[in-house]
Amino acid sequence: MENIALIESFSEFKDDKSIDRVTLMAILEEVFRSALKRKYGSDDNFDIIINPDKGDLEIWRNRIVVEDGEVEDENEEISLTEARKIEPDFEVGEEASEEVKLIDLGRRAILALRQNLISKIHEHDNTNIFKQYKELEGELYSAEVHHVRHNAVILLDDNGNELILPKSEQIRSDFFRKGESVRGIIKSVELKGNKPSIVLSRTSPEFLVKLFEQEIPEVFDGLITIERVARIPGEKAKVAVDSYDDRIDPVGACVGMKGSRIHGIVRELGNENIDVVNYTKNENIFIARALSPAKVVSIKIHEAVEDQKPRVDVFLKPEEVSKAIGKGGVNIRLASQLTGYEIDVQREGVEDDVELTEFSDEIEEWIIEEFKNIGLDSARSVLDLEVSDLVKRTDLEEETIIEVQRILKEEFES
């Protein structure tokens, strides 16, 4: 293979890759120098002249002319007789330059050189992709479904680059078909074995923030700020918003008339229910707002204990407790995430009540947990509901619930 043939073979990569001339020459020189080191032990005395635009390549080896029989290093020195075969007027002590053809490196070295060239180009391309997408981390991004696997969806963007949407980053109700466009945020970009791994997420709270920015002009313009977000993806979210302009109602602006503005976001998130509340630095007021739609009577914030989440007792009327806790404890969990407090619900005006955990010697722990999961953590809260209602809301058998209520009634009768 002649020097020019290798350069021509490079053009097939150059046409498809965005490699500037300086980088191209650097890659080529690095590859050729590696080949020279393997062949001659050193490349220090070689000059490489590359013109990739024209397909020109020249490699010159420079050696000092010494007397015949005094050559100690064949790579660094050349005998006078050999030197005069190159130029007849060379003298001892001069530097003789001789062009090296690729064929002189040997067929195996040429094949290795070409493979190394391909590898370096791909490595350069992958590094560029990594840098490009690393800058997009946390940003909203769209790509097309290319392949659906059981544990991930493989996406391709407009540039033909591959993104991964793992099952763990998908909303439960998500269902994808090949060719359809999918939105999410770029959660992470990592190099794995020199290949960039770009992970998309639809479950991240930041995805919800970016959707607000895109769908609500006041958020995009900075007139309304999103202070905090708590999400249970595909189920429910709470968003705390604020505005420095007293003329703007941040909640109203985000929700819109009859929910018109937030409807697109809800639809994008698989009908995820979104509560938008006004943010305030007053902790008592903020905790009460976070527990909406429940109406709070009073709040008692406990002193913070080191290395523990701060606790707060929230007092509500008995009929408001189930609203505060929500189905499956979702509402209180989100309120806790949003405020940063461990929230303990207390029933206002109910003095003679007993926590369910007090009955652990008579009622199995897993049964108590079933009641707690739907916001029932005291004896009266369980007794206040009909057996049929408890059957619907828990995974407990009717006989089990009847037995539990019997044990609880005996406590108050005694």
CA distances from 126 to 18, 19, 143, 354 (A): 11, 12, 19, 63
Rounded mean pLDDT, 28-49: 84
pLDDT band at 115 (very low <50, low <70, confident <90, very high): confident
Q: What is the pLDDT of residues 212-231, one digit of tens each?
A: 999 999 999 999 999 999 99
Q: Is 251:281 a contact under the CB 8 Å cutoff? A: no
Is the pLDDT reported for residue 13 higher than 60? no
Cα distance between residue 294 and residue 180, in whole Å: 40
Q: What is the pLDDT of residues 329-348, one digit of tens each?
A: 899 999 999 999 988 888 77
Residues above pLDDT 90, as percent of the chain: 40
346: its two tokens: 């207390």
Q: Is 165:153 a contact under the CB 8 Å cutoff? A: yes
Which element (helix H / strand E) includes 212? helix 205-215
What is the pLDDT at residue 1? 41
Q: What is the pLDDT of residues 243-295, one digit of tens each?
A: 988 899 999 999 988 888 999 999 999 999 999 999 999 999 999 999 999 99
Beta bridge partners of 189: 198
Which residue reads 């890759």 in tokens? 17
Q: Which superfamily, per CATH, for 3-131?
A: NusA, N-terminal domain (3.30.1480.10)
Pairing of strands 46-51, 77-79: unpaired
What is the pLDDT at residue 54? 61
What is the pLDDT at residue 350? 58
Cα distance between residue 94 and residue 112, in whole Å: 34
Which residue reads 């590898």 in tokens? 119
Sheet bearing 273-278, strands edge to edge: 224-232, 236-243, 273-278
Is the pLDDT reported for residue 102 higher than 80? no
Residues above pLDDT 70, as percent of the chain: 89
Q: Is 290:340 a contact under the CB 8 Å cutoff? A: no
Is the pLDDT reported for residue 129 higher than 50? yes
Highest mean pLDDT among 43-57, 86-100, 175-189, 343-357: 175-189
Q: What is the pLDDT of residues 347-383, one digit of tens each?
A: 776 556 788 888 888 899 999 988 888 878 888 888 8
Neighbours of 244 (CB within 10 A): 10
Quote the pTM value.
0.63
Q: What is the mean pLDDT of the chain?
A: 85
- Listed in sequence order, the DSSP H helices in 221-282 are 250-255, 263-268
288: its two tokens: 């009460």
Cα distance between residue 165 and residue 184, in whole Å: 9
Fold classified for 206-347: GMP Synthetase; Chain A, domain 3 (3.30.300)
Neighbours of 382 (CB within 10 A): 21
- Domain 136-202 in CATH 2.40.50.140: yes
* DSSP secondary structure of 293-331: TSPEEEEEEPPP-TTS--EEEEEE-HHHHHHHH-GGGHH
Q: What is the pLDDT of residues 196-213, one digit of tens each?
A: 899 999 999 999 999 999
Beta strands in 317-394 (DSSP E): 342-347
Which residue reads 């209602």 in tokens? 389
Q: For residue 179, what are the contacts with CB-CB under 8 A and spacing of at least 6?
A: 144, 145
Answer with the residue of higher pLDDT: 121 or 204.
204
Q: What is the end-to-end Cα distance of the chain in Å, rounded?
A: 101
Cα distance between residue 332 and residue 320, in whole Å: 12
Dihedral of CA atoms 84, 89, 91, 94 in degrees, nearest 10, equals -90
